[in-house]
Amino acid sequence: GENVEQHPSTLSVQEGDSAVIKCTYSDSASNYFPWYKQELGKRPQLIIDIRSNVGEKKDQRIAVTLNKTAKHFSLHITETQPEDSAVYFCAALPRGADKLIFGTGTRLQVFP
Amino acid sequence: SQTIHQWPATLVQPVGSPLSLECTVEGTSNPNLYWYRQAAGRGLQLLFYSVGIGQISSEVPQNLSASRPQDRQFILSSKKLLLSDSGFYLCAWSPLRDSDEQFFGPGTRLTVL
């Protein structure tokens, strides 16, 4: 079955710098890749997603890139702000499956 | 628009007591429904999911069970809670047939003492 690995587990950046979180997946048939942001004590919120027919998607300061050949996708946050501090989860949905396979999460800390 | 509700928001229960957590979705029909558990500082563990009324798939064998008595209602239960059942329980829904997106409910924080 599908397996998703997420790195790094923790990431500290200075305010204004960029942050990159990378996930690799094992099932080449996976076709949907969402990213969630979870603030302390809150529910995970869908922040951006990408489908396998697209290589890159951008929404203001966040972007996701997908490399189907290498089977990895990445979240890019530019001009980080303290409110970007949270745990970020990637996930993959195998084609025809009913459940997402989540990565283990990355704790991002943005220092002012 | 669609909304998802969970209750209670917080719960403190003694070891060995029963549990019932409820999740309901509004504004959609025939959603896929999911129960996740998140231990403190940890990732998302899928416990159960359902693609229709009465259809339950179990991901992790344990002392929990799930039921879907109505299209938009998903219930997580236990007959006897263990200390290890403490955690943040999240219900989620997805239309899947129309969209792959999955949305989480506000969660129930369970402490077993």
pLDDT in tens, B59-78: 986 899 999 999 999 999 99
Q: In Å, how far is B9's CA from the nearest CA of chain A?
A: 11
| φ/ψ (deg, to 5) at B28 | -150, 165
Residue A37 in contact with residue A105, Cβ under 8 Å? no
Q: Give dist(CA B31, CA B65) in Å, integer.
A: 19
Inter-chain CB proximity A43 and B106 less than 8 Å: yes
Q: What is the per-residue pLDDT for B97?
A: 63
Give chain A's count of helices (H) and strands (E). Answer: 0, 11
Q: Which amino acid is at A109?
A: Q
Arithmetic mean of pLDDT over chain A: 96
- Mean pLDDT of all residues in B104-110: 97
- Mean pLDDT of all residues in A32-39: 97
Task: Flag whether pLDDT at B108 surpasses 80.
Answer: yes
Dump pLDDT digits (tens) for B10-47: 999 999 999 999 999 999 889 999 999 999 999 999 99
Q: What is the per-residue pLDDT for A23?
A: 98
Inter-chain CB proximity A45 and B51 less than 8 Å: no
| φ/ψ (deg, to 5) at A82 | -55, -30
Place of tokens 């359902």: B50
Residue B87 in contact with residue B38, Cβ under 8 Å? yes
- Interface membership of A99 toward B (CB under 8 Å): yes
- Interface membership of A89 toward B (CB under 8 Å): yes
- Mean pLDDT of all residues in A91-106: 93
Contacts B102 to A, Cβ<8 Å = 34, 46, 100
> Bridge partners of B101?
none
Supply the DSSP symbol for B63.
Answer: S
Identify the closest residue of chain B to A40 by CA–CA distance.
B41
Q: In Å, how far is B36's CA from the nearest CA of chain A?
A: 11
SS3 A65: strand
Inter-chain CB proximity B46 and A99 less than 8 Å: yes
Dump pLDDT digits (tens) for A3-28: 999 999 999 999 999 999 999 999 99
Dump pLDDT digits (tens) for A53-85: 889 999 999 999 999 999 999 999 999 999 999
Identify the closest residue of chain B to A49 by CA–CA distance.
B101
Q: Give dist(CA B22, CA B17) in Å, integer.
A: 17
